């Protein structure tokens, strides 16, 4: 039997809070958890399966401080749902908790439509599914911070087994300083995502942190579409996979809090698709990339604007690269950083520098003036340096690999190719050594 529970604010009172089981709510067309007093502050706990409610469903409609908790219970909303709908509906909370807890919404889902400081927390192995009836012909979106007044709203998915699945996701449509956090082994899945979608949507962020924490966006992920000072942070074993990723899409000011940024500190970012042509790129706005430790892998990487790129440690892997207007520097001279070429052409218009303690790996075409102060381990396959190379560190050519230098080489370090092939088309100068069996 399907149970439809609505107008939960009219339920029977039990002191300062309400504990709901089947049959305790009245039936109407709209379910509103907000209390009938001006002060708000209502608390409702559902600890048994509540069936299906007709939407729209609101936790906090016109006032604030209300909370709804699913405690190892299931609740389905047929339609749209809101946590903090109007401007006065601040600091409302939806908590989905426990391994048997499931919260599902067939339509749009919004945390902070006009209200500020509203939250959804999915914890303890619970599951939330929103926009479950969305399709390519029916737009369906989960919003965190919709209107300009919708600030500081947050979704937190935390703990192993906890998950949130939705279609399109927008962290900050117009609102500022909204965020999603995926942590401690939890996971999130979305079709596409905007972080800071429209003007005014500044300072919105997503953080994925903790071993086993994952966020998968099958389509495009845009960080700072029109909003500025937006960010994606991947830390401490967290992982993000996207079918495309652009930072600071449109030109604009740097914002009060600085540029939009991509920060990897002990996490993993994978930008790929089934065609192996997904792009990690930086648009026309103010942006910043920092790889402190961890891993970035992209089918293609483009940075044609003048943005700071800092690779202090970890591994940056790309199948094709174009960087303009700034030198591309691997390492800071202290940390161990690696740039891996997965075939393709790697063009650095302002120069390519492999710093001391840093490593260049893989095979491909390097179209840049190159300085190798650290180490290059090249192969397997064909490696071509189109422009001049200065070697202060070492170059190792792996078996089965051919390395061609098509411009002058200054070698003050060591080139070693015991079973590889080296081809020099121009002059070789410097005080370094060259050891190889075959080659010219």
Mean predicted lDDT score pLDDT of the chain? 88
Task: Round to whole Å and give the CA distance between 223 and 247.
Answer: 5
What is the SS3 assignment for 184?
Answer: coil
Count of helices and strands (H, E) across the chain: 0, 44
pLDDT band at 33 (very low <50, low <70, confident <90, very high): low
> What residues does 115 pair with on adjacent strands?
none
Inside any domain, residue 231 = no
Tokens 């209300």 belong to residue = 66
Q: pLDDT value at position 41?
A: 80
306 within a domain of the structure (yes/no): no
Question: How far is it, in rounded angstroms, from Cα 306 to Cα 393?
Answer: 28
In percent, the amount of the chain with pLDDT more than 90 equals: 76
Is residue 43 in some structural domain? Answer: yes
In a domain, residue 138? The reply is yes
Which residue, of 143, 158, 173, is where some domain finishes? Answer: 158
Asked whether the predicted pLDDT for residue 22 surpasses 60, the reply is: no
Q: What is the pLDDT of residue 26?
A: 28
**Domain count within the chain:** 2
Contact 210, 158 (CB under 8 A): no
Q: Residue 307: pLDDT band by 50, 70, 90 thresholds?
A: confident
At 135, the pLDDT band (50, 70, 90 cuts) reads very low
Identify which of 234, 127, 221 has the alpha carbon closest to the alpha carbon of residue 181.
Answer: 234
The answer to whether residue 307 sits within a structural domain is no
Confidence of residue 17 (pLDDT cuts 50, 70, 90): very low
Return d(Cα 372, Cα 392) in angstroms, integer.
Answer: 6
Greater pLDDT, 179 or 8: 179
Q: How far is CA 135 from the centre of its chain?
A: 23
pTM here is 0.90
Q: pLDDT, tens digit, for every residue of 96-120?
A: 999 999 999 999 999 999 999 999 9
Is 146 within the bounds of a domain? Answer: yes
Instruction: Tell me the C-alpha distance between 268 and 190, whole Å.
Output: 18
Q: Which of 230, 121, 129 is nearest to 183 (CA)?
A: 121
Residue 189 within any structural domain of the chain? no
**Could you give the CA distance from residue 382 to residue 404 in angstroms, rounded to a whole number?**
8
| 336-358 average pLDDT score | 97
pLDDT higher than 50, residue 13: no
Residue 2's CB: how many other CB atoms inside 10 A? Answer: 7
Look at residues 139, 158, 177 and tell me which one is the last residue of a structural domain.
Answer: 158
**Domain ranges, residue 334:** 327-345+364-440
Asked if 87 and 114 count as a contact pair (C-beta separation under 8 A), the reply is yes
pLDDT of residue 437: 61
The pLDDT value recorded for residue 95 is 98
Cα(27)–Cα(43) distance, rounded to whole angstroms?
19
Nearest to 60 by CA among 81, 83, 26, 76: 83
Asked if the model's pLDDT at residue 393 lies above 70, the reply is yes
State how far the Cα of 322 lies from the Cα of 111, in Å rounded to an integer. Answer: 39
The pLDDT tens digits of the residues spanning 184-236 come to 999 999 999 999 999 899 999 999 999 999 999 999 999 999 999 999 999 99
Say what the pLDDT of residue 305 is: 81
> What percentage of the chain has pLDDT greater than the value 70?
87
- Tell me which of 103, 132, 158 is where a domain ends: 158
Our measurement of the distance from residue 182's CA atom to the centroid of its chain's CA atoms, rounded to an integer in Å, reads: 10
Q: Higher-confidence residue: 270 or 334?
A: 270
In a domain, 413, yes or no: yes
User: What distance lies between CA 7 and its chain's CA centroid?
Assistant: 37
Structure tokens at 203: 């300072």
CB 158 within 8 A of CB 123: yes
Provide the token pair at 160.
């192993």
* Res 382 pLDDT > 50: yes
CA distance 93 to 103: 14
pLDDT band at 439 (very low <50, low <70, confident <90, very high): very low
């Amino acid at each position: 039997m399907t149970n439809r529970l609505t107008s939960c604010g009219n339920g029977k009172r039990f002191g300062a809070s309400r504990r709901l089981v089947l049959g305790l709510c009245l039936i109407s067309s709209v379910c509103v958890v907000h209390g009938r007093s001006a002060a708000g502050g209502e608390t409702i706990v559902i600890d048994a399966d509540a069936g299906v409610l007709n939407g729209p469903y609101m936790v906090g409609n016109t006032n604030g401080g209300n909370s709804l908790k699913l405690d190892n219970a299931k609740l389905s909303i047929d339609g749209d749902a809101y946590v903090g709908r109007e401007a006065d509906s601040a600091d409302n909370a939806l908590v989905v908790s426990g391994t048997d807890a499931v919260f599902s919404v067939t339509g749009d889902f919004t945390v902070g439509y006009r209200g500020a400081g509203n939250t959804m927390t999915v914890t303890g192995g619970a599951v939330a599914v929103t926009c479950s009836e969305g399709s390519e012909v029916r737009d369906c979106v989960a919003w965190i911070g919709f209107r300009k007044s919708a600030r500081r709203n947050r979704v937190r998915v935390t703990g192993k087994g906890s998950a949130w699945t939705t279609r399109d996701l927008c962290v900050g449509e117009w609102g500022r300083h909204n965020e999603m956090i995926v942590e401690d082994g939890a996971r999130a899945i979305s079709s596409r995502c905007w972080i800071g979608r429209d003007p005014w949507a500044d300072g919105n962020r997503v953080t994925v942190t903790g071993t086993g924490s994952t966020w998968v966006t099958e389509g495009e992920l845009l960080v700072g579409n029109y909003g500025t000072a937006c960010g994606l942070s991947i830390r401490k074993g967290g992982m993000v996979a996207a079918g495309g990723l652009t930072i600071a899409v449109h030109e604009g000011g740097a914002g009060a809090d600085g540029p939009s940024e991509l920060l990897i500190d002990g996490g993993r970012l994978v930008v790929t698709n089934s065609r192996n042509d997904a792009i990690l790129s930086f648009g026309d706005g103010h942006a910043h990339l920092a790889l402190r430790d961890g891993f970035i892998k992209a089918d293609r990487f483009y940075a044609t604007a003048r943005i700071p790129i800092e690779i202090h440690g970890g591994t940056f892997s790309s199948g094709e690269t174009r960087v303009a207007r700034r030198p591309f520097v691997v390492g800071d001279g202290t940390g161990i950083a690696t740039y891996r070429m997965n075939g393709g052409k790697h063009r650095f218009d302002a120069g390519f520098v492999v710093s001391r303690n840093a490593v260049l790996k893989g095979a491909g075409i390097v179209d840049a003036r190159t300085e190798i102060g650290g180490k290059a381990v090249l192969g397997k396959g064909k490696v071509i340096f189109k422009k001049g190379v200065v070697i202060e560190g070492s170059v190792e050519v792996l078996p089965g690999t051919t390395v061609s230098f098509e411009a002058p080489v200054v070698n003050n370090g060591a080139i070693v190719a015991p079973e590889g092939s080296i081809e020099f088309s121009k002059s070789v100068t410097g005080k370094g050594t060259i050891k190889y069996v075959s080659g010219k």
